[in-house]
Structure 1
Amino acid sequence: MSKETQELTRNPNLIAFQTNLLAEYQEKNKTVKKGQTIFIGSSIMELFPIEKWEEAGEVKFDKYIYNRAVRATTTQFVLDHITTQIFDLAPSKIFINIGTNDIGFQVEPEIFHENYEKIIRQIQATLPDAEIFVLKYYPVNNVDFGSDKDEAVLFATRSNALFNQASEKNREMAQKLGVHFIDVSEGLADEHGNLKKAYTFDGAHLLPDGCKVILENLVPYL
């Protein structure tokens, strides 16, 4: 277990946040409209303000988009909470961006990819008519960021090279399991392949303007 993982598992504030957010999701799930679209993942997805935009009338799609992502989580977390995050909503479309923390927390690649495949197979078994979209990991920027302590820890085990390598494994998995693998990051990167500084507050997580780029790229699939 990496030092970063150990710190996170000992962080009572983070654990409390995750627990409270799951409880909030469980309560909201009682009144959701079935057959809609959901976003699943870790902080990259959780911070995506899609429901805020929908409620404000800024965006509108044929199907409502529910966000059930939870920050600082891994593929194992989704497996452990798959009912709350996915099955209770009985969605018709599922967009998944999970695994960057598996990489960052240095989970064994075999375990990480095995867990991801388990997630897909469980969805297929429980929701056979649902469309599943596995998202290519977004670029990061450790050139303009990484100078302070928190950013240095973040990028100690995360890089575009690692994310691209893992994305290719996810592409192979998606092809094998018959689900969609999509890259919706067009426009996020600069000429060097790094996440544009204007779209992020720490080099990895997106500001609302960055999320709008992603949403525009997602429109054909929504």
Structure 2
Amino acid sequence: MMIEEQLLKIKNYDYINQIALKGKILFTGSSLMEMFPVCEIARSRGIEEIIYNRGVGGLNTDEFLEHIDTLLLDLEPSKIFINIGTNDITETRFGDQWLEHLMDNYRRILEIVYEKLEKPTVYTMAFYPANLHLPWQTAESIEWMKLRTPENIGRCNEALNKISESFGCNYLDCNADLTDENGEQKPEYAIDGVHMYANGYLKVFDSLVKYFY
């Protein structure tokens, strides 16, 4: 169930969408997108393209679908970068069917995008690595993150890549510089083992900036 902070954020996006320019670049998803300072990095690199960020922390794919108009469709973007679903990996409602539910929702998101928008260029972004073995992890956080193993992240990315191919959209894996020798998130980028500091996002930006043009 969504919390008041998320609903207020979406309401605010709804208002600002009313004056936003159509046909621009959109980054959308959950907290891993909301925390991506893509607009600031782009501006500091001299990039003039208009970029909107519609990330909302804590969203799962069910909630994203519920609010897909505000978070994606209303902007009528020409290029869409999507990073959604990491919160589904912690879901307990679906038991060992969590991956199937996640990917079914991803298919539905892409179906809606291609049905409602005219020839968008869509980029599905690989799930970032996580790190369950940082020294500041607690028993509670490890329990919450227990499904975010390199193996499960790999399963998600393999499935997402196949779905992206089936829709003819672009799957982007920006993880090479984020991942250590164990397949986990490098500690120097880690806030909590899932979310990243801006130094990690600088690496992501360098991997995807060529797709702005």
Same fold (TM over 0.5): yes
Structure 1 residues 155-164 or 139-148, which shifts more?
Answer: 139-148
Q: Match of 1:133, SS?
A: strand
Partner of 1:6: none
| Equivalent of residue 77 in structure 2, options 48, 72, 91 | 91
- The answer on 1:68 being equivalent to 2:68 is no
CA distance in 1, matches of 2:40, 2:161: 30
CA distance in 2, matches of 1:163, 1:17: 28
CA distance in 1, matches of 2:25, 2:136: 35
Q: What TM-score comes out, normalization by structure 2 length? A: 0.91
Partner of 2:203: 213
Q: Could you tell me which amino acid in structure 2 is paired with residue 196 of structure 1?
A: K
Deviations 1:73-114 (A, max 9, x none): 111111100100011111000011111111211443322211
| Structure-2 change in CA distance of 1:71 and 1:146 (3 Å) | same
| Equivalent of residue 9 in structure 2, options 18, 21, 30 | 21
Deviations 1:46-94 (A, max 9, x none): 111223445xx42443521111111111111111001000111110000
Kindly state the Cα deviation for residue 153 of structure 1 after the two structures are TM-superposed.
3.5
Gaps of at least 5 residues in structure 1 are 1-8
Structure 1 residues 103-112 or 92-101, which shifts more?
Answer: 103-112
Gaps of at least 5 residues in structure 2 are none
Compute the RMSD of aligned alpha carbons: 1.7
CA distance in 1, matches of 2:135, 2:86: 18
Kindly state the Cα deviation for residue 145 of structure 1 after the two structures are TM-superposed.
4.8
Q: Could you tell me which amino acid in structure 2 is paired with residue 74 of structure 1?
A: N
Count of residues in correspondence between the two structures? 208
CA distance in 1, matches of 2:144, 2:103: 21
| Structure-2 change in CA distance of 1:150 and 1:86 (3 Å) | same
CA distance in 2, matches of 1:117, 1:99: 12
Deviations 1:138-189 (A, max 9, x none): 1111122563255224322322211110111111111111111111122111
Q: What TM-score comes out, normalization by structure 1 length? A: 0.87
Kindly state the Cα deviation for residue 35 of structure 1 after the two structures are TM-superposed.
0.7
The 8 Å contact of residues 51 and 65 in structure 1, kept in 2 or not, is answered as yes
